[in-house]
């Protein structure tokens, strides 16, 4: 594990089927380990939703290690033991494949790239409250951890002038979908029916324009912060630092700008009033998350549950084979942007 040193405070007993300890001094990330062999995670979680919610409210994320989780179906059952109705994945920002009912591959970006820490779907008008990750295969080479950062640490560190500018205007996201740009709209919205896409955009306060033979451009003004539905905490919650053109490799951004212009980029982020966000603003936010990230190396069978408001997640580069599966639950709809 990288980041602050672990607090080795076990709270299990000899007779308990699990042990519990906090991984970071700021009470961030709880590790729950099976203390007996072949302990079924779905069975152990059944009836413990309130206990898990209390742990997430306090720690932001809970790692389950040493439990019996061998297949995607085992993982699905464990997630459904907490929240029976798992979510689909519309308005996608990355390619994924569904390997079991509402269980998806994690973001399929180049293994050599860092994926900056972010809140899942914070570019949308709705997002999952809880995320579930299962390690089917840790990286056979090096790297591949899923770093986490606590918003209780990050939010107070956002410079006051940056926070105030975003709070005044919000964030505007412009996305271009097409067969040669980012994702085709058919994959992002999981339909081949333009009328369904138009209905989704209308219901989510998203402007849209059909372009050429098979292109789509959307523009949506969204929140800069969000309020946790249980704890009442207001946290930094947006995708500006991830969608901003400065997050692309310089040579890639330059080539896309020359060919398509600023409005034709696969994705970009602006202030909600349409004005450009300076590179140094979003670069500073990405660096804040990276600097305060905690990485716990994956072991086969690990399950990580993340509160999507209180913690951000990302992906370290890796070599070799790696498979992390994802499920989501408890949809939150931000009525203030509709």
Residue 217 contacts residue 241 (beta carbons within 8 Å)? no
Confidence tier at 12 by pLDDT (50, 70, 90): very low
Tokens (6 digits) for 139: 């990286």
The reported pLDDT for the residue numbered 94 is 74
Tokens (6 digits) for 143: 């790297």
Digit-coded pLDDT (tens) for 214-257: 999 999 999 999 999 999 999 999 999 999 999 999 999 999 99
**What does the alpha-carbon distance between residue 285 and residue 119 come to, in Å, rounded to a whole number?**
13
Every domain of the chain and the residues it spans:
18-153+295-333, 155-286
**What does the alpha-carbon distance between residue 211 and residue 297 come to, in Å, rounded to a whole number?**
44
The reported pLDDT for the residue numbered 5 is 39
The reported pLDDT for the residue numbered 213 is 83
Confidence tier at 2 by pLDDT (50, 70, 90): very low
Digit-coded pLDDT (tens) for 84-136: 999 988 887 777 889 998 999 987 788 999 999 999 999 999 999 999 999 99
CATH number of 155-286: 3.60.130.10
Find all residues with CB under 8 Å of 181, minimum gap 6, and list them: 215, 260, 264, 266
Which residue, 282, 192, 213, is CA-closest to 246? Answer: 282
**What does the alpha-carbon distance between residue 24 and residue 21 come to, in Å, rounded to a whole number?**
9
**What does the alpha-carbon distance between residue 292 and residue 3 come to, in Å, rounded to a whole number?**
7
**What does the alpha-carbon distance between residue 228 and residue 15 come to, in Å, rounded to a whole number?**
36
The reported pLDDT for the residue numbered 15 is 56
Cα–Cα distances (Å) from 133 to 16, 63, 210, 322, in that order, read: 25, 9, 35, 13
Pick the CATH number of 18-153+295-333 from 3.10.20.30, 3.40.630.30, 3.60.130.10, 3.40.50.300: 3.60.130.10
pLDDT at 25 over 70: yes
> Are 18-153+295-333 and 155-286 in the same CATH fold?
yes
Digit-coded pLDDT (tens) for 301-314: 999 999 999 999 99
Strand partners, 40: 68
Q: What percent of the chain has pLDDT over 70?
A: 96
pLDDT at 8 over 60: no
Confidence tier at 4 by pLDDT (50, 70, 90): very low
pTM (predicted TM-score): 0.93
């Amino acid at each position: 594990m990288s980041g602050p040193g672990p607090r080795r405070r076990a709270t299990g007993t000899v007779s308990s089927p699990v042990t519990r300890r906090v991984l970071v001094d700021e009470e961030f990330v709880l590790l729950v380990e099976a203390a007996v062999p072949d302990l079924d995670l779905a069975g152990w979680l059944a009836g413990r939703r309130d206990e898990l919610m209390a742990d997430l409210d306090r720690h932001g994320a809970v790692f389950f290690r040493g439990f019996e989780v061998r297949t995607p179906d085992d993982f699905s059952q464990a997630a459904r033991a907490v929240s029976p109705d798992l979510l689909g994945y519309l308005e996608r920002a990355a390619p994924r494949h569904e390997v079991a009912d509402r269980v998806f591959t994690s973001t399929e970006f180049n293994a050599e790239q860092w994926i900056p820490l972010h809140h899942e779907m914070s570019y949308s008008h709705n997002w999952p409250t809880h995320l579930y990750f299962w390690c089917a295969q840790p990286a056979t080479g090096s790297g591949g951890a899923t770093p986490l950062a606590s918003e209780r640490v990050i939010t107070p560190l956002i410079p006051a002038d940056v926070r105030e500018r975003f709070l005044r205007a919000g964030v505007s996201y412009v996305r271009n979908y097409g067969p040669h740009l980012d994702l085709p709209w058919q994959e992002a919205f999981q339909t081949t029916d333009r009328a369904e896409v138009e209905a989704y955009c209308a219901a989510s306060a998203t402007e849209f324009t059909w372009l050429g033979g098979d292109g789509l451009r959307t523009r949506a003004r969204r929140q800069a912060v969000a309020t946790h539905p249980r704890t009442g905490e207001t946290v930094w919650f947006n995708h500006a630092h991830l969608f901003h053109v400065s997050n692309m490799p310089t040579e890639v951004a330059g080539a896309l700008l020359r060919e398509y212009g600023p409005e034709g980029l696969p994705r970009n982020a602006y202030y909600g009033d349409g004005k450009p966000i300076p590179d140094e603003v979003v670069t500073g936010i990405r660096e804040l998350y990276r600097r305060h990230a905690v990485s716990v190396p994956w072991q086969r069978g690990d399950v990580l549950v993340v509160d999507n408001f209180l913690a951000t997640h990302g992906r370290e580069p890796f070599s070799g084979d790696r498979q992390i599966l994802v499920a989501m639950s408890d949809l939150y709809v931000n009525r203030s942007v509709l």
